[in-house]
Amino acid sequence: MEKEHVRYYIMIRSKLGIKPVTIHEELVLALGDTAPSYTTVTRWASEFKQGRVEVKDDPRSGRPVTSFTKANIDRVRELVEADPHTTYERLEAETQLNTFTLHQILHQALSLRKVTSRWVPHLLTDENRQKRVEICVENLTYFRDGPGRLSDILTTDEVWIYHRQLGSKASNSCWIGPGESPNTVVKRGAYERKSMFSLFFRTSGIVHVHAVNRGRTIDHQYYIENCLSPALAAVRRERPSTGTKNLKLLQDNARPHIHSNVDNFLEDQGVKKIRHPPYSPDLAPCDFWLNDYIKRNLENQEDENALFNAVTKITRDIPIQEYQKTFQKWIERMELCIKNNGDYFEHLIK
Protein backbone atom coordinates (compact mmCIF):
# COMPACT_ATOMS: atom_id res chain seq x y z
CA MET A 1 0.00 0.00 0.00
CA GLU A 2 1.28 3.49 -0.87
CA LYS A 3 2.41 5.45 2.16
CA GLU A 4 0.10 8.34 1.21
CA HIS A 5 -2.88 5.96 1.45
CA VAL A 6 -1.75 4.93 4.92
CA ARG A 7 -1.48 8.55 5.98
CA TYR A 8 -4.98 9.28 4.66
CA TYR A 9 -6.19 6.44 6.87
CA ILE A 10 -4.35 7.89 9.88
CA MET A 11 -5.84 11.33 9.12
CA ILE A 12 -9.42 10.07 8.93
CA ARG A 13 -9.19 7.84 12.00
CA SER A 14 -7.55 10.67 13.97
CA LYS A 15 -10.35 13.09 13.04
CA LEU A 16 -12.83 10.49 14.29
CA GLY A 17 -11.13 10.58 17.67
CA ILE A 18 -9.44 7.19 17.46
CA LYS A 19 -6.28 6.95 19.57
CA PRO A 20 -2.91 6.41 17.81
CA VAL A 21 -2.34 3.09 19.61
CA THR A 22 -5.59 1.73 18.15
CA ILE A 23 -4.79 3.08 14.68
CA HIS A 24 -1.38 1.41 14.82
CA GLU A 25 -2.93 -1.92 15.87
CA GLU A 26 -5.40 -1.70 12.96
CA LEU A 27 -2.60 -1.03 10.48
CA VAL A 28 -0.51 -3.92 11.82
CA LEU A 29 -3.53 -6.21 11.51
CA ALA A 30 -4.11 -5.09 7.91
CA LEU A 31 -0.52 -4.64 6.65
CA GLY A 32 1.63 -6.87 8.88
CA ASP A 33 5.34 -6.07 8.70
CA THR A 34 4.75 -3.25 6.18
CA ALA A 35 2.75 -1.21 8.68
CA PRO A 36 4.39 2.02 9.89
CA SER A 37 5.87 2.07 13.38
CA TYR A 38 3.87 3.29 16.37
CA THR A 39 6.13 6.35 16.57
CA THR A 40 5.36 7.22 12.95
CA VAL A 41 1.60 6.81 13.47
CA THR A 42 1.72 9.01 16.59
CA ARG A 43 3.67 11.73 14.76
CA TRP A 44 1.30 11.87 11.80
CA ALA A 45 -1.81 11.71 14.01
CA SER A 46 -0.48 14.66 16.03
CA GLU A 47 0.19 16.70 12.89
CA PHE A 48 -3.25 15.97 11.46
CA LYS A 49 -4.90 17.03 14.75
CA GLN A 50 -2.96 20.31 14.53
CA GLY A 51 -4.56 20.98 11.15
CA ARG A 52 -2.21 19.41 8.63
CA VAL A 53 -3.96 18.24 5.43
CA GLU A 54 -0.97 17.30 3.26
CA VAL A 55 -0.05 13.59 3.31
CA LYS A 56 3.13 13.84 1.24
CA ASP A 57 6.53 14.23 2.87
CA ASP A 58 7.84 17.74 3.32
CA PRO A 59 10.63 18.60 0.87
CA ARG A 60 14.10 17.90 2.21
CA SER A 61 17.16 19.62 0.89
CA GLY A 62 19.67 17.30 -0.71
CA ARG A 63 17.31 14.34 -0.58
CA PRO A 64 17.68 12.06 -3.64
CA VAL A 65 14.72 11.64 -5.98
CA THR A 66 14.50 7.99 -4.99
CA SER A 67 15.77 6.01 -2.03
CA PHE A 68 15.69 2.76 -3.98
CA THR A 69 19.43 2.87 -4.67
CA LYS A 70 22.16 0.23 -4.71
CA ALA A 71 23.79 1.82 -1.68
CA ASN A 72 20.58 1.61 0.34
CA ILE A 73 19.92 -1.96 -0.83
CA ASP A 74 23.43 -2.99 0.24
CA ARG A 75 22.98 -1.24 3.59
CA VAL A 76 19.69 -3.01 4.30
CA ARG A 77 21.22 -6.34 3.27
CA GLU A 78 24.08 -5.82 5.74
CA LEU A 79 21.68 -5.00 8.58
CA VAL A 80 19.47 -8.02 7.92
CA GLU A 81 22.43 -10.39 7.65
CA ALA A 82 23.78 -9.03 10.95
CA ASP A 83 20.41 -9.51 12.68
CA PRO A 84 17.82 -11.69 10.88
CA HIS A 85 15.30 -10.83 13.64
CA THR A 86 15.50 -7.08 13.03
CA THR A 87 12.26 -5.11 12.64
CA TYR A 88 11.03 -2.41 10.26
CA GLU A 89 11.28 0.10 13.11
CA ARG A 90 14.96 -0.68 13.69
CA LEU A 91 15.71 -0.57 9.98
CA GLU A 92 14.00 2.82 9.72
CA ALA A 93 16.11 4.14 12.57
CA GLU A 94 19.36 2.75 11.11
CA THR A 95 18.81 3.80 7.48
CA GLN A 96 16.44 6.79 7.72
CA LEU A 97 14.41 5.12 4.97
CA ASN A 98 10.62 5.08 5.07
CA THR A 99 8.52 1.93 5.39
CA PHE A 100 7.50 1.87 1.74
CA THR A 101 11.11 1.99 0.51
CA LEU A 102 12.19 -0.65 3.02
CA HIS A 103 9.35 -2.88 1.85
CA GLN A 104 10.50 -2.51 -1.76
CA ILE A 105 14.12 -3.29 -0.87
CA LEU A 106 13.32 -6.27 1.37
CA HIS A 107 10.71 -7.95 -0.81
CA GLN A 108 11.63 -6.89 -4.36
CA ALA A 109 15.37 -6.26 -4.37
CA LEU A 110 16.39 -8.85 -1.77
CA SER A 111 13.46 -11.29 -2.23
CA LEU A 112 13.16 -11.75 1.54
CA ARG A 113 10.13 -12.72 3.61
CA LYS A 114 9.79 -12.86 7.37
CA VAL A 115 8.60 -16.10 8.95
CA THR A 116 8.14 -17.21 12.53
CA SER A 117 10.74 -19.57 13.98
CA ARG A 118 9.61 -23.18 14.11
CA TRP A 119 9.31 -24.86 17.52
CA VAL A 120 10.41 -28.47 17.69
CA PRO A 121 10.02 -31.00 20.54
CA HIS A 122 13.73 -31.86 20.75
CA LEU A 123 17.03 -31.00 19.13
CA LEU A 124 17.55 -34.23 17.21
CA THR A 125 20.99 -35.75 16.82
CA ASP A 126 22.07 -37.65 13.72
CA GLU A 127 21.52 -40.84 15.69
CA ASN A 128 17.97 -39.75 16.61
CA ARG A 129 17.14 -39.00 12.98
CA GLN A 130 18.61 -42.29 11.81
CA LYS A 131 16.57 -44.17 14.42
CA ARG A 132 13.38 -42.38 13.36
CA VAL A 133 13.92 -43.38 9.75
CA GLU A 134 14.83 -46.95 10.67
CA ILE A 135 11.70 -47.48 12.79
CA CYS A 136 9.41 -45.77 10.28
CA VAL A 137 10.71 -48.02 7.50
CA GLU A 138 10.17 -51.05 9.73
CA ASN A 139 6.59 -50.08 10.59
CA LEU A 140 5.67 -49.12 7.03
CA THR A 141 7.04 -52.39 5.74
CA TYR A 142 4.71 -54.24 8.11
CA PHE A 143 1.57 -52.07 8.11
CA ARG A 144 1.56 -50.51 4.66
CA ASP A 145 3.29 -53.10 2.52
CA GLY A 146 3.04 -56.25 4.66
CA PRO A 147 0.48 -58.29 6.59
CA GLY A 148 -0.10 -55.82 9.44
CA ARG A 149 -3.59 -54.37 9.86
CA LEU A 150 -4.22 -50.93 11.32
CA SER A 151 -7.32 -52.33 13.04
CA ASP A 152 -5.00 -54.47 15.20
CA ILE A 153 -3.27 -51.44 16.71
CA LEU A 154 -4.04 -50.21 20.22
CA THR A 155 -2.38 -46.87 20.94
CA THR A 156 -2.05 -44.97 24.20
CA ASP A 157 -0.58 -41.94 25.93
CA GLU A 158 -0.87 -39.87 29.09
CA VAL A 159 -1.93 -36.22 29.01
CA TRP A 160 -2.45 -33.44 31.55
CA ILE A 161 -5.79 -31.65 31.15
CA TYR A 162 -6.65 -28.43 33.00
CA HIS A 163 -10.05 -27.89 34.61
CA ARG A 164 -10.18 -24.32 33.25
CA GLN A 165 -9.86 -23.89 29.51
CA LEU A 166 -8.08 -20.88 28.03
CA GLY A 167 -8.70 -21.57 24.36
CA SER A 168 -6.30 -20.81 21.53
CA LYS A 169 -5.12 -17.32 20.60
CA ALA A 170 -7.35 -17.40 17.52
CA SER A 171 -10.44 -18.48 19.47
CA ASN A 172 -9.92 -15.62 21.97
CA SER A 173 -9.82 -12.91 19.29
CA CYS A 174 -12.90 -10.69 19.00
CA TRP A 175 -14.17 -7.63 17.16
CA ILE A 176 -14.39 -4.43 19.20
CA GLY A 177 -15.73 -0.99 18.44
CA PRO A 178 -13.98 2.38 18.75
CA GLY A 179 -12.86 3.03 22.30
CA GLU A 180 -13.75 -0.48 23.48
CA SER A 181 -11.26 -2.69 25.28
CA PRO A 182 -10.72 -6.34 24.35
CA ASN A 183 -11.81 -9.12 26.67
CA THR A 184 -9.19 -10.35 29.12
CA VAL A 185 -8.02 -13.90 29.73
CA VAL A 186 -6.25 -14.69 33.00
CA LYS A 187 -3.13 -16.78 32.43
CA ARG A 188 -2.67 -20.01 34.31
CA GLY A 189 -1.18 -19.99 37.77
CA ALA A 190 1.59 -22.35 38.81
CA TYR A 191 -0.83 -24.48 40.85
CA GLU A 192 -3.92 -24.34 38.67
CA ARG A 193 -6.00 -27.52 38.89
CA LYS A 194 -5.31 -30.22 36.34
CA SER A 195 -5.72 -33.98 36.06
CA MET A 196 -3.71 -36.62 34.25
CA PHE A 197 -5.49 -39.02 31.93
CA SER A 198 -4.38 -42.26 30.33
CA LEU A 199 -6.13 -42.73 26.97
CA PHE A 200 -6.35 -45.83 24.77
CA PHE A 201 -7.97 -46.02 21.34
CA ARG A 202 -8.15 -48.10 18.15
CA THR A 203 -9.60 -47.63 14.67
CA SER A 204 -12.95 -48.62 16.20
CA GLY A 205 -12.89 -45.71 18.67
CA ILE A 206 -11.98 -45.02 22.28
CA VAL A 207 -11.16 -48.15 24.30
CA HIS A 208 -10.32 -46.90 27.79
CA VAL A 209 -10.18 -43.56 29.60
CA HIS A 210 -8.49 -43.53 32.98
CA ALA A 211 -8.16 -40.51 35.28
CA VAL A 212 -5.03 -40.95 37.35
CA ASN A 213 -5.64 -40.78 41.08
CA ARG A 214 -4.97 -37.32 42.51
CA GLY A 215 -1.44 -37.01 43.85
CA ARG A 216 -0.45 -40.34 42.32
CA THR A 217 2.45 -40.82 39.93
CA ILE A 218 2.21 -43.43 37.18
CA ASP A 219 4.83 -46.10 37.72
CA HIS A 220 5.01 -49.42 35.91
CA GLN A 221 2.81 -51.24 38.41
CA TYR A 222 0.13 -48.55 38.38
CA TYR A 223 0.29 -48.53 34.58
CA ILE A 224 -0.25 -52.31 34.41
CA GLU A 225 -3.08 -52.46 36.96
CA ASN A 226 -5.07 -49.31 36.16
CA CYS A 227 -4.31 -48.62 32.50
CA LEU A 228 -3.16 -51.64 30.53
CA SER A 229 -5.25 -54.33 32.20
CA PRO A 230 -8.61 -52.50 31.84
CA ALA A 231 -7.74 -51.51 28.26
CA LEU A 232 -6.97 -55.09 27.24
CA ALA A 233 -10.13 -56.30 28.99
CA ALA A 234 -12.11 -53.79 26.91
CA VAL A 235 -10.47 -55.07 23.73
CA ARG A 236 -11.48 -58.60 24.63
CA ARG A 237 -15.08 -57.47 25.06
CA GLU A 238 -14.93 -55.77 21.66
CA ARG A 239 -13.35 -58.80 20.00
CA PRO A 240 -14.85 -61.85 21.78
CA SER A 241 -13.69 -64.27 19.09
CA THR A 242 -10.07 -63.09 18.76
CA GLY A 243 -9.44 -61.19 21.99
CA THR A 244 -5.89 -59.83 22.05
CA LYS A 245 -4.68 -62.14 19.27
CA ASN A 246 -2.53 -60.18 16.78
CA LEU A 247 -3.01 -57.03 18.91
CA LYS A 248 -0.13 -54.55 18.65
CA LEU A 249 0.49 -51.81 21.22
CA LEU A 250 1.76 -48.42 20.04
CA GLN A 251 3.07 -46.27 22.90
CA ASP A 252 5.91 -43.83 23.48
CA ASN A 253 9.09 -44.53 25.41
CA ALA A 254 8.04 -43.14 28.80
CA ARG A 255 9.65 -45.01 31.69
CA PRO A 256 6.53 -46.87 32.88
CA HIS A 257 5.91 -48.02 29.28
CA ILE A 258 9.30 -49.62 28.75
CA HIS A 259 9.75 -51.26 32.15
CA SER A 260 10.62 -54.96 32.00
CA ASN A 261 7.54 -55.84 34.08
CA VAL A 262 5.36 -54.17 31.45
CA ASP A 263 7.11 -56.12 28.69
CA ASN A 264 6.56 -59.37 30.60
CA PHE A 265 2.90 -58.53 31.19
CA LEU A 266 2.32 -57.81 27.50
CA GLU A 267 4.07 -61.02 26.51
CA ASP A 268 1.82 -62.99 28.88
CA GLN A 269 -1.21 -61.33 27.28
CA GLY A 270 -0.02 -62.14 23.77
CA VAL A 271 0.39 -58.49 22.84
CA LYS A 272 3.36 -57.28 20.83
CA LYS A 273 4.79 -53.77 21.00
CA ILE A 274 5.22 -51.55 17.96
CA ARG A 275 8.58 -49.82 18.06
CA HIS A 276 8.31 -46.07 18.54
CA PRO A 277 11.30 -43.77 17.90
CA PRO A 278 12.59 -41.53 20.71
CA TYR A 279 11.56 -37.86 20.88
CA SER A 280 8.76 -38.40 18.36
CA PRO A 281 5.41 -36.95 19.48
CA ASP A 282 4.82 -36.16 15.80
CA LEU A 283 4.50 -39.92 15.23
CA ALA A 284 2.23 -40.65 18.22
CA PRO A 285 -1.52 -40.50 17.39
CA CYS A 286 -2.49 -39.21 20.83
CA ASP A 287 0.06 -36.40 20.61
CA PHE A 288 -0.61 -35.28 17.05
CA TRP A 289 -4.41 -35.62 17.23
CA LEU A 290 -6.48 -36.84 20.20
CA ASN A 291 -5.01 -34.76 23.03
CA ASP A 292 -5.50 -31.48 21.18
CA TYR A 293 -8.94 -32.55 19.94
CA ILE A 294 -10.12 -33.07 23.52
CA LYS A 295 -8.75 -29.72 24.72
CA ARG A 296 -10.32 -27.83 21.81
CA ASN A 297 -13.76 -29.26 22.58
CA LEU A 298 -13.61 -29.13 26.36
CA GLU A 299 -15.37 -26.57 28.54
CA ASN A 300 -14.53 -25.54 32.10
CA GLN A 301 -15.12 -28.30 34.66
CA GLU A 302 -15.65 -27.78 38.37
CA ASP A 303 -14.06 -30.96 39.73
CA GLU A 304 -12.27 -34.19 38.82
CA ASN A 305 -15.46 -36.19 38.35
CA ALA A 306 -16.96 -33.62 35.98
CA LEU A 307 -13.72 -33.46 34.01
CA PHE A 308 -13.59 -37.26 33.69
CA ASN A 309 -17.19 -37.38 32.44
CA ALA A 310 -16.56 -34.59 29.93
CA VAL A 311 -13.39 -36.18 28.54
CA THR A 312 -15.12 -39.58 28.28
CA LYS A 313 -18.10 -38.07 26.45
CA ILE A 314 -15.92 -36.17 23.99
CA THR A 315 -13.89 -39.24 23.08
CA ARG A 316 -17.00 -41.42 22.72
CA ASP A 317 -18.74 -38.87 20.52
CA ILE A 318 -15.90 -38.70 17.98
CA PRO A 319 -17.01 -40.43 14.75
CA ILE A 320 -15.28 -43.74 14.07
CA GLN A 321 -14.12 -42.34 10.72
CA GLU A 322 -11.95 -39.82 12.57
CA TYR A 323 -10.22 -42.57 14.55
CA GLN A 324 -9.64 -44.53 11.33
CA LYS A 325 -8.35 -41.43 9.58
CA THR A 326 -5.83 -40.84 12.38
CA PHE A 327 -4.11 -44.18 11.75
CA GLN A 328 -3.94 -43.36 8.03
CA LYS A 329 -2.31 -40.08 9.03
CA TRP A 330 0.16 -42.08 11.12
CA ILE A 331 1.18 -43.91 7.94
CA GLU A 332 1.49 -40.63 6.03
CA ARG A 333 3.54 -39.06 8.82
CA MET A 334 6.01 -41.94 8.79
CA GLU A 335 6.38 -41.48 5.03
CA LEU A 336 7.06 -37.76 5.57
CA CYS A 337 9.58 -38.56 8.28
CA ILE A 338 11.52 -40.76 5.88
CA LYS A 339 11.35 -38.17 3.08
CA ASN A 340 12.62 -35.54 5.51
CA ASN A 341 15.59 -37.76 6.48
CA GLY A 342 14.31 -38.30 10.00
CA ASP A 343 13.95 -34.63 10.88
CA TYR A 344 10.71 -33.11 12.18
CA PHE A 345 8.29 -32.59 9.33
CA GLU A 346 5.16 -30.89 10.66
CA HIS A 347 5.99 -27.68 8.78
CA LEU A 348 5.61 -29.71 5.57
CA ILE A 349 2.03 -30.77 6.36
CA LYS A 350 -0.54 -28.68 4.51
Mean pLDDT of 274-292: 96
**CA-wise closest residue to 281 among 153, 115, 119:** 119
**Residue 32: per-residue pLDDT:** 82
Which has more confidence, 337 or 27?
337
Mean pLDDT of 91-111: 88
Confidence of residue 177 (pLDDT cuts 50, 70, 90): low
CA 44 to chain centre: 38
Flag whether pLDDT at 208 surpasses 90.
Answer: yes
Flag whether pLDDT at 344 surpasses 90.
Answer: yes
Cβ count near 334 (within 10 Å): 25
Flag whether pLDDT at 170 surpasses 70.
Answer: no
Flag whether pLDDT at 336 surpasses 90.
Answer: yes
Give the class (CATH, top level) of 126-176+190-348.
alpha beta
Which has more confidence, 32 or 247?
247
What radius of gyration do the chain's Cα atoms show?
A: 28
**Residue 65: per-residue pLDDT:** 47
Name residue 89's amino acid. E
Mean pLDDT of 262-278: 97
Q: Domain segments of the chain: what residues?
A: 3-57+65-109, 126-176+190-348
Classified as helix, coil or strand, 199 is strand
Mean pLDDT of 230-237: 97
Confidence of residue 1 (pLDDT cuts 50, 70, 90): low
